[in-house]
Structure 1
Amino acid sequence: MDTTVTETLIELATRLAAVSSHEDETAAGDEIEAWLCAETDADVRRDEVGNVIARNGAGERSLALVGHHDVVAPADEQVTDDGNYIVEACDGRLYGRGTADMKGAVAAAMLAFRDIDVAGTSSERTSSDDASLPGELVFASFVGEEVGGVGARHAIDEGFSPDYAIVGEGSTGYSSPGVTDVAVAHKGRRGSTITAHGSAAHASEPDAGENAIYRATDAVSLIRTLEAPTVEVAGESLEGSVVVTEIDGGTAMNVVPDRCDVTVDERTVPGERAAIERLEDLEGVEWTVDQDLPPMRCGDEAFAGGVLQTADSVQSGSPEFVTKPHATDAGWLAAAGTECVICGPAEPGEAHTADESVSVAVLERCYRIYRGAAENWLG
């Protein structure tokens, strides 16, 4: 790895990670937009919700390098006196909120986007002859990923529809420690509320009312009988789940309750869902979907295989196709028709922690994967 590239990557990742973006992503978006405008000749635009999207080249096909620059709320010890984040380098890692999830990957994708010579990937092309390019290279960093894909959904609604995308969420350490794998599927999440309605009465005369908690327990019993779906992806089983997580009902010890609310967490898998809609057949029970984050599965074996081949060529370990247990913006993109894979530096257990960190060596590796995969795709 060129030491200049390494130094630039560390500096950029550190600068991005230091900017507060758990409540307002504006300043982080400003940094990304300004860097892209200064360092590339791409068409860089900021949409009305704060997404930063840069485009280079032209053609019938498009490949996007995708990330997000919002983060979850930091721990107190991760914040400076001025409200930004503390970022420290130690033992080959960068420590700080957002280093793993996922400003480190955003920095690697930005640098790769800058360094990919779109016009020069074929000797028959020139920078002034966009019509001969095989496709468009896109960089996108979204807002609101941590709160349900706000930015990705807005971009899709406004016409963002690359044919292919490499999403830089974590895929390191899944098949074996330290290896950066390629995730070709992940679970989704559907969160819902069961509301059981009854009629209140004095507890001394329970038959005078209709106990909403009893109706809620009937719903819970039904939930426990549902079979969670399982699909086979990349040689392993991706298993869904359905679980009751909260219950709230009643107003007093001596009152038959007229309402009871139950929350349900459902992990969905591509193409299959538990038959939770059966709740609607129960008397006095209402089912409301509060959040539905889609799962993802890559259906283009050639694209996924190309990224895996590049990942294999830039590391000593042997990467594999893997699956992820949680939803990402790749789910929204896949639902809109984009073929996605996930490849990024974060390791299981690093994101959202008080000592969040990312390996500098793996950041460098991801830069090489993003650049190599895109150049191979363009070539």
Structure 2
Amino acid sequence: METLLDLNLPATELTAVICDIASVSGEEKALADVVEASLSAYEHLAVDRDGDTVVARTGRAAGSGDTARPGDTARSGDTARSGRVVVAGHLDTVPIAANLPTKRDGDLLWGRGTVDMKGGVAVMLRLAAHITEPVRDVTYVFYDNEEVEAERNGLGRISRTRPEWLEADFAVLMEPTAAAVEGGCNGTLRATIGLSGQAAHSARWWMGDNAIHRAGDVLRRLSAYTPAVVDVDGLTYREGLNAVAIDGGIAGNVIPDRCTVTVNYRFAPDKDEEQAFAHVRDVFDGYEIELADSAPGARPGLGRPAAAAFIEAVGAEVRAKEGWTDVARFSALGVPAVNYGPGDPQLAHADDERVPLGEIALCEDRMFAWLAP
């Protein structure tokens, strides 16, 4: 018989329990098994699984054999509920660094996953188990492989293969934000600028054309560049365009004929990927430039009724998310999203990872205030 989690435990205690179930990326099966079994015990939830991603949904007819599916609308006269939202969090962690099992020291819980992001997962489990008739239907997504390469990401996988599971008006990704609300996220791209010259022996340098020296103009353009500050849905996003690598050189006695400068552009979510790359091409007009990779940003959608209700319920500071997170996967599906969860993101992945228990309790209370009738 499958071991079940005690979802009557407060989220602070439940966090320690699930942190002590090791789930390094690619090894989430044990935790996914227990999450699936534990949530399947609740009649008001419809539970599905894809690999080691577990999805649990509330529905207006749950328990009667006719559970509402994502995208269902309210019945006529059903004013108690409005729309559907997604609450998501990943089950995996980075590798353990002699920081499990967890330990408690006063109001701090230490150990791998306490910040990123099993405190948020514990809150999700509590919400799923105990809010049987939420004011808006909820899809809870517990996904695998967030901490590794994008093609393995469980949320990305179901967004491609089962997008109907993620249909919603609004989403909350319970990544650590120190209990602040971080709306949307910037997009990111990397591009390479190829510089050509003429190889020659360095003793007869005048016979060549140094490609590395040609990088000087590229770097001057970057030094003179003024990044934009952009308002999107009432939040301020700071852009940035920076060199992150230079590659060139053949040998210590050869004038190089090739040099490549790699730049990283962090762009506000008012732009799509094509517009962002067009901007980079404009900045480096006249140069050979290639797109290496990119990921779109995400608008926070704070004007949506579900988003407005969330902001009012949690009563937390709202700011822009400067980095990239999986909220962008929701945005690509037309679902605006925010990041909100316990833990200082600067402690994520640290050997001394730790979370204040009060933050977990605060996030639990605020999420209950948003979803409970």
TM bucket, shorter chain: 0.7 to 0.9
What is the rounded CA distance, in whole Å, between the counterparts of 2:48 and 2:332 in structure 1? 24
Are 1:325 and 2:322 matched, yes or no?
yes
Question: Is the alpha carbon distance of 1:44 and 1:188 closer, same or farther for their aligned partners in structure 2, counting shifts above 3 Å?
Answer: same
Task: Using the aligned pairs only, state the percent identity.
Answer: 28
Query: What is the match of residue 98 of structure 1?
Result: 113
Structure 1 residue aligned with 2:54: 52
Judged with a 3 Å threshold, the aligned counterparts in structure 2 of structure 1 residues 263 and 16 are, in CA distance, closer, same or farther, namely farther
Structure 1 moving runs of 4+ over 6 Å: none
Q: Which residue of 2 aligns with 1:140?
A: 141
Following TM superposition, by how much is the alpha carbon of 1:367 offset from its aligned partner in structure 2, in angstroms? 1.9
Which secondary structure state, in structure 1, belongs to the residue aligned with residue 115 of structure 2? helix
* SS of 1:266 mapped into structure 2: strand
What is residue 298 of structure 1 aligned with on the other side?
301
Report the counterpart of residue 187 of structure 2 in structure 1: 188
SS of corresponding position for 1:63:
strand
Asked if 1:67 is matched to 2:70, the reply is no
Q: Which residue pairs with 1:112 in the alignment?
A: 127
Note the aligned Cα RMSD (angstroms): 2.7
In structure 1, C-alpha distance between the alignment counterparts of 2:188 and 2:24, rounded to whole Å? 22
Change (3 A) 1:211 1:27: farther
Q: 2:65: which partner in 1?
A: none
Look up the match of 1:81. none
State the alpha-carbon separation in 1 of the partners of residues 299 and 349 from structure 2. Answer: 22
Whole-angstrom CA distance in 1 between matches of 2:190 and 2:20 = 32
Q: How many residues align?
A: 337
> What is the aligned partner in structure 1 of residue 333 from structure 2?
336
Q: 1:320/1:36 Cα in 2 relative to 1: closer, same or farther (>3 Å)?
A: same
Cα gap change, 1:234 to 1:339, in 2 (>3 Å): closer
| Aligned counterpart in structure 1 of residue 98 of structure 2, from 77, 89, 103 | 77
Match for residue 20 of structure 1? 22
8 Å CA contact 2:233, 2:302 repeated in 1: no
The answer to whether the 8 Å contact 2:25/2:146 transfers is: no
Q: 1:31 to 1:11 in 2, by over 3 A?
A: farther
Q: CA deviation at 1:17?
A: 1.4
Matched, 1:164 2:166: no
The aligned residue for residue 36 of structure 1 is 39
Q: Deviations over 1:22-68 (max 9, x none)?
A: 342333323322322235542222214x3221122122332111111
Question: Match of 1:226?
Answer: 225
Q: Deviations over 1:214-256 (max 9, x none)?
A: 3333333333333322112576632111111222210211112
CA distance in 2 between partners of 1:53 and 1:205 (Å): 67
- 1:6 touches 1:364 (CA, 8 Å); kept in 2? no
Deviations 1:281-312 (A, max 9, x none): 434x3323234252442242532321122223
CA contact (8 A) 1:184 1:304 kept: no
Letter of the 1:226 counterpart: Y
Which stretch has the larger CA shift, 338-347 or 12-21?
A: 12-21
Rounded to whole Å, the distance in 1 between the matches of 2:335 and 2:235 is 23
Q: TM-score, normalised by structure 2?
A: 0.80
Where 1:369 maps in the other structure, the secondary structure is helix
Return the letter of the residue paired with 1:374. Answer: L
Letter in 2 for 1:220: L
Q: Is the 8 A contact 1:22 1:73 kept in 2?
A: yes
Does the 8 Å CA contact 1:184/1:234 hold for their aligned counterparts? no
- The aligned residue for residue 125 of structure 1 is none
Tell me if the contact between 1:228 and 1:241 (Cα under 8 Å) persists in the aligned partners. Answer: yes
Q: 1:307/1:148 Cα in 2 relative to 1: closer, same or farther (>3 Å)?
A: farther
Structure 2 residues not aligned, in runs of 5+ = 1-5, 60-67, 74-82
The TM-score, its normalising length taken from structure 1, stands at: 0.79
What are the Cα deviations for residues 79-108 of structure 1, in whole angstroms up to 9, with x where unaligned?
xxxxxx321122122111111111110110
8 A Cα contact 1:152 1:333, kept in partner: no
User: 3-state DSSP class of the match of 2:41?
Assistant: helix
